[in-house]
Amino acid sequence: MRVVYLFTLLGALGAIMIASIAFGVTDIPLGTVWESLTQFNGSNEHLVIRTTRIPRALIAASVGACLAVAGAVMQVMTRNPIASPSTLGVNSGAAFFIMLASVWLGVSGMNAFTWVALIGAAISGGIVFLLGSVGRDGMSPVKITLAGASMSAFFASLTQGLMLTDGKMFDQILVWLVGSVAGREMAQLQAVWPYMLAGMIISLLLSRHLNVLAMGDDVAQGLGQSTAYIKLFGALAVILLAGASVAVAGPIAFVGIIIPHIVRYFIGTDFRWILPYCAVLGAILLVAADLGSRYIAMPKEVPVGVMTAVIGVPFFVYIARKGRRTS
């Protein structure tokens, strides 16, 4: 049954991506969308579809998938229900390093940005992870969340400072900083997809081990798992997924919290199924949020990062209220 549902969801993803390509400030009939792919004639509509709409839908789908999977992996690694690339400071670290590299070091180009984002994600995530796991009782959800919040505040402030003192491209950077998939080009996706794919493959290969890890470090070690290696590879996957996403779409919040919880509610605790479902549902969520964001303040667009934040907060509050304090 799980296979059937997964394919149904994949179908839904396809449908919503087509909707995302067809609808927007100018609605384009589906026939024209099809024609632009099969018989490209260089007309305005065809150009819009090929250069903005299709890249946008693809980027939204892949970023959503990556963030959701990263969130799921982080939640099991930290045993923290509200862990996600955004709450644990990984996204804002990546964003700050990109800003720093472009303003001070004059780095440009998508490839360089991706590397910088990966490094930023690794540094910020590493500090949070370390701070969250010091102390007698080891990693506790509260400690790691607080560490993440302070790292986020730290990097966000520095990023804003850089932005205000530099001033160039102020408005573009601002949109990027909230998280947006608008106005992206195919080349940007092409630069990051190898990293995204690598992150996905590592996560999927880990899924069996994550099942064991979810029972707790002690149990996992007792069953003969070398938890340190599993966590190391898990961290690598998270950094690849989150860093690459930030490089192309900016720090989009809350996808990594919402989706894993929904998936676990319906699918249960088997990570071999959780991860693929997270990927598909994450993609659906972000494409849908992006589509919705075009209609809220027509003809202007609301950055999709704002949409996910607004959808995500009720979830966050619900989880924080429900969560028992465990250390």
The whole-angstrom separation of Cα 307 and Cα 252 is 9
Compare residues 167 and 224 and give the one whose CB is closer to other proteins.
Answer: 167
* 254 near other proteins (CB under 8 A): yes
SS3 284: helix
Bond from prior residue into 299 cis (ω within 30 degrees of 0): yes
The whole-angstrom separation of Cα 230 and Cα 235 is 9
- # binding residues, other proteins (CB under 8 A): 55
Measured CA to CA in angstroms, residue 23 lies from 179, 287, 308 at distances of 21, 12, 20
* 183 near other proteins (CB under 8 A): no
Q: What is the residue whose two structure tokens read 């340190």?
A: 228
* Residues in 149-178 at the binding interface with other proteins, rule: CB under 8 A: 149-154, 156-158, 160-161, 163-165, 167, 170-171, 174-175, 177-178
Q: How far is the CB of 82 from other proteins (least distance, A)?
A: 7
Give yes or no for a contact between 121 and 243, defined as CB atoms under 8 angstroms apart.
Answer: yes
Q: How far is the CB of 123 from other proteins (least distance, A)?
A: 14
* 195 near other proteins (CB under 8 A): no
Q: What is the CA radius of gyration of the chain?
A: 20
Phi, psi at 320, each rounded to 5° = -65, -35
Cα of 293 vs its chain's centroid, Å: 17
Stretch that binds other proteins, among 93-101, 143-151, 198-206, 264-272 (CB under 8 A): 143-151
Q: How far is the CB of 99 from other proteins (least distance, A)?
A: 12
The whole-angstrom separation of Cα 227 and Cα 237 is 15
> Between 26 and 55, how does the x/- string for binding to other proteins read (CB under 8 A)?
------------------------------
Interface residues with other proteins (CB under 8 A) are 82, 86-87, 127, 131, 134-137, 140, 142-143, 145-147, 149-154, 156-158, 160-161, 163-165, 167, 170-171, 174-175, 177-178, 253-254, 297, 300, 302-303, 305-306, 309-310, 312-313, 316-317, 320-321, 323, 325, 327
